[in-house]
Structure 1
Amino acid sequence: MRVNLLGPFEVYAAGEPDSSAPAAQKVRQILAVLALNANRVVPSGRLVEELWADNPPASAGTALQTYVYQIRKRFGLGSPRGGGPVRADAGRPALSTVDGGYQLRLPEEHVDAFRFEPLVRRARKEFQDGQYLRARDSVATALALWRDAALVDVRKGPVLESEALRLNELYSGARDLRIHADLNLGRHHEVLSELTALATREPTNENTQRQLMLALYRTDRRADALRVYQSARESIADELGLDPSPELQALHTAILNSDESLLHAAGPAAPQAARPAPAAAVVQAPSHLPPPQGHLVGRRGQLARLSGALTPRAAGRPVVVVHGPPGSGKSELCLHAAEQAGRHYPDGRLFGRLLDAENRPVDRATVLRSFLRGLGATDGQLPSDVTDLGLMFRTWTADRRLLVVLDDVTDPADLALLLPSGKGCGALIGSRRRLFVPSATEEVELDRLPMDDCVRILTAAVADHRITMEPDGVRRLAGLCHGLPGALLAIAAKLRLRPHWAARQAIGWITESAKAHEDPLGTRARLDRSLARLPADVRSAFGTLFSAAGPDRLSPAAAAALLGTGEHRAETLLEELVEAYLLRPSAASPDGRFSYTWEPAMEVLRTHRGAAPEPVGGLGHPQAMAA
């Protein structure tokens, strides 16, 4: 099965010489969205959005299942339900139903859009290396895949409209790159007629006007080049109310002065003669993401939701916030989602952590300098003032398509300077406290994992360990972690080092280590990161409440008695701890007052603190908490 999207929609089933794309428009739309996201989960909600925008009928779910069934039947894409995401190399093409959506399994080389983008990236790299002839050949091969505007004969809802816009913009960029390569190869006469037609069709496209002016000047038509500038200046002023860009004005001045440097084209054997790239050019798309730790278990629904939410749309950049209790796997989920969404952001993926290893806030200027260096800035170009750095970052990201991932965000005010400005950009924000981000387009909140997923994480991590022969022991170990992936992986790491252990030795290690004020599951370290940015009075209140022997459920009255304060003040402190994912509210009483229980990470610490005379790590001492 092969799918062509770069022009009229074509689908070639195995062994069939002619296209057999569906005739029904809604079926065409669904198949096009699935093909554009081949080997990735497409949430059902995104397909519903494509078909019916903001006004789906009550029968939308049933209708969607019918359309998917028609696609499966027509192209022999049957797949058992509930099979989960499948790998692109797992066999023949198939359309699978997974939690919350669908996934079309299809080799990427069988979709023309997926062949196009790597060729363009290669061409850009070759051009930047001064290999103009190779760059020209690579981009020409990419452009040959196009037959018309992307999905020209498919009715487009909001999802396909955004994707078609993105692909058509990529085509325009590739076409400009091919013309630029031709100009550097001295092929000015060959591109003149093409540039003249493009400049007439796109009078405010300054890149095209600049290329035409340069080609005319190099073919001894200086007066014509100056007339092109005058025409472009008038069009830009009339349609946009702006002056020409500094680059276009500089070229006009150079032509007026008969600048001989404009006559020199860099031939294939002389890459050193290439004109220097603009200051804001990207030498190579940065990829700053740390690698994920391993296979993600138990978060398929959230991962599909994040992947869909990170798809750029015409309405503007996606800004997605992920938050949850300490140890719930926020950072790992963000990294997997960023990897899946990476192909939507060809200009790079930047990563910044806003708390360092000592739980101290990382200066925003430090993060911005790292981002700008990744985008090609030199130290000499970087201003010292954080506001100027932020303005420079916004300028450099205005015309790019890149993803910014920010982890350990504790204050929404930190985001003002760190979010990219371009509509083709996206941002993924991870936080261990609840955040209100006004620009957020999607929020995902994590909770503890079900027991079955905990068991799967543990057994998958130590598949060759003797403990897998003790199903009851594995479940007891998993239960000690209260559904937290971080704690489960800490147990797995110890078991990998001690293959001779049985379940009772592992349980004993956890219990005795906790009694000795150690941190066997890494829970206290994660707690320290959550406490680091809380006000001193909130940390002190946490220490007092955590160390108190009593019921696990706290009412404002009980908290007030322990803290020696009024109920209103106690309730305020309790809600601060809820925002930090250290407590969670339970059902309200008839008078509207909530009671509160400990979050899973706190349950781990309280469960394993044993009979030690001091709370784990001294966390219950108010003076220590304030310090």
Structure 2
Amino acid sequence: MRIEVLGPVRAYAGDGAPIEVGGARVRALLARLALARGEVVSVDSLLDGLWGERPSGDHVNALHALVHRLRRALGGAGVVETVAGGYRLNVGAEEVDAVRFEALARRGGRELAAGAAEQAAALLRDALKLWRGDALADVRDLPFAGTAGARLDELRVGAVEDRFEAELRLGHHGEILADVEAAAAGHPLRERLAGLRMRALHAAGRQSDALAVFDEVRRTLTEELGVDPSEELRRTHVAVLRGELEIPEAAQARPEAVPGRLPAQLTSFVGREDELRLLAGLLEASRLVTVVGPGGVGKTRLAVEVVSRHRAHRRGRVWLVPLAGVNTADGLPEAVLGTLGTADGRASGTPLDRVVNLLAGGEGVLVLDNCEQISEPVAEFARHLLERQPYLTILATSRGPLEVMGEALCRLGPLELPPGTRGSRSCRRIGRGAAVPRSGGSRIVAGSSTSYTARLRTGRVDGGPGRGHRAPAGRAAARPGAGRGAAAYHERRSAGQAARRPLPAAQHRQQGSRAQAADPPRGHRVELGPPHRSGTDAGAPDVDLSGEDGDRRDRGRLCG
């Protein structure tokens, strides 16, 4: 869930869908709890913040009603928790835009103080993009919102001043001059803004206008506050007057990576809620996270889902690099460059240097998918990137750890059965596997140690070229060649042949029914047929592909 208070109060679900929160006081309650950053807010504090310092007894009942309405809007009592003496909003602090703004603004200020103007400007731009208007705009008349909103407004102006300072150091005076003029007009008593305006005008060759700004500010300060300009502003005035103010030259434009794009998913994401929460937490706490698991278990799908919910994705700073086709160390940076979208023939430096430069510009997430073929080069590459880009996070998927210092692991196993499936009439345990009901008159038996996916339609099992399996039953038994498919499959498995030849087309066809499945592991069975058999399907038997003690026998029967 995401809460926004830098503007009208808004709430959004995890998938980005807006949540309707009706009523000004309900939204004010949401904002008050969100600004507490996960801390408990006492009932007395809520009463004072929503109704003033002298609430009546009826206001306590009104507060309980507001909490009920907020819980109903947000989807349950678990979001707004009742704690001894008050309430707490069970939402991560990083999901509140005001908290993210303050964190980015502080980081930008530190970078500016350290002389890293480019990094500071990028961070401060990201921070200011979070604003959608005046803070708490639609609840500003309530008691708590006045103080909280004024504090956020002051932090915003400070971030604006830091951003102008960073841009001026980079020689971007022409790009920000209009913004500086507008900000100074809105805050005529802020001397730092006046000094930034004078420097921007002087750098643009407008010395007389810069001197006029000083006279205007001095007059305003004298008339409204009865004070003289500060020592710093007077020094800026003297430097402009003497022409001694340094004018930085704009640096050559740095190439930037194209906005990241994640692949569109053809199906909805079901399950893995615990893994999603775990992986999201690891991405906040660690800069290198690896999803580890066997092939086909869903590592890529989980990684794409979690980064699609990451705040960097909303700014276009999440990139997915598929490495399944890369098998050399030299191909790794080239694959990353291909995803970042650079086509500048003038770019200089090593491929790693070019990747580092493209990833600069603030927080970002780089997803390296299927690293198992070149795990050692990936580990070295990731280490260099993280050392040179302090605001980059790398999410890798692999069958084994990268073994880099500071790496956090998320181990992924087979998908758990949906609740309530065990013991039902349409889902029963067979051998070592557990049956999972599927639509379309079919069900899959997934093993306890290995998961695999299959598409089943009654009547045929086909794992692709060279993986057709059939068994005679009913009408199929009378057809020429029926029954040889499953036997041929077991013969090939027992012979240990690496390459399988396709079976004749006649053995793959049966009018009106077919099935497709991945080659199931030994000891698992696939059931074909409707979960609840009735009528002509009542006698439909199972197809057993376990391969145990019978590799050369056709042990399945298939109903046509």
TM-score by length of 2: 0.48
Greater radius of gyration (CA) = 2
Give the structure with the higher percent helix.
1
TM-score by length of 1: 0.44
